């Protein structure tokens, strides 16, 4: 995978967009039971394969699933929840820094008042 430098707000937007569609939620629900091929995932839906692949791509772009081509079969896997947790750790760490910079501003303003 290419260098990942996704700001967490953007990845949240992608995540919510990905989950805002019934087909994509059903794919996620199916993948909680284990990995599956694109053909298996597409079978329940009355949808042309290219349209279904669009849904797969949205889920992949949001980081919710990964896909891997094995021979002629593309297999989809739900990205482990620990990834969501790592993302959460980074978000909390970034929030700590945002608060520190705000507090720095308050302290600088207070110093200005007393000078």
Site residues (vs other proteins, CB under 8 A): 3-8, 22, 25-26, 28-30, 32, 35, 77-87, 89-90, 93-94, 96-109, 111-112
* Minimum CB distance to other proteins smaller for 57 or for 85: 85
> How many CB atoms lie under 10 A from the CB of residue 18?
21
Instruction: Return the number of the residue (72 or 82) whose C-beta is nearest other proteins.
Output: 82
Q: How far apart are CA 59 and CA 19, in angstroms?
A: 8
- Please state the closest distance from residue 89 (CB atom) to other proteins, in A: 5
CB of 69 to other proteins, least distance (A): 15
Instruction: Scan for tokens 């996704």, then name that residue.
Output: 6
Query: Is 35:68 a contact under the CB 8 Å cutoff?
Result: no
Residue 50 CB, nearest distance to other proteins (Å)?
24
Nearer to other proteins, 39 or 104 (CB): 104
Q: How far is the CB of 5 from other proteins (least distance, A)?
A: 4
DSSP 1: -
Question: Residue 80: which of 42, 21, 41, 35 has the closest Cα?
Answer: 35
Q: Which is nearer to other proteins, 34 or 50 (CB)?
A: 34
CA 112 to chain centre: 43
């Amino acid at each position: 995978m290419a260098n990942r430098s996704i700001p967490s707000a953007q990845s949240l937007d992608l995540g919510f967009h990905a989950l805002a569609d019934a087909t994509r939620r059903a794919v996620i629900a199916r993948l909680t039971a284990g990995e599956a091929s694109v053909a298996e995932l597409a079978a329940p839906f009355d949808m042309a394969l290219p349209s279904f692949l669009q849904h797969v791509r949205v889920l992949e772009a949001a980081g919710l699933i990964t896909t891997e081509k094995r021979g002629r079969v593309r297999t989809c896997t739900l990205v482990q929840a620990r990834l969501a947790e790592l993302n959460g750790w980074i978000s909390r760490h970034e929030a700590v820094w945002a608060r520190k910079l705000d507090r720095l501003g308050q302290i600088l303003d207070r110093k200005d008042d007393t000078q």
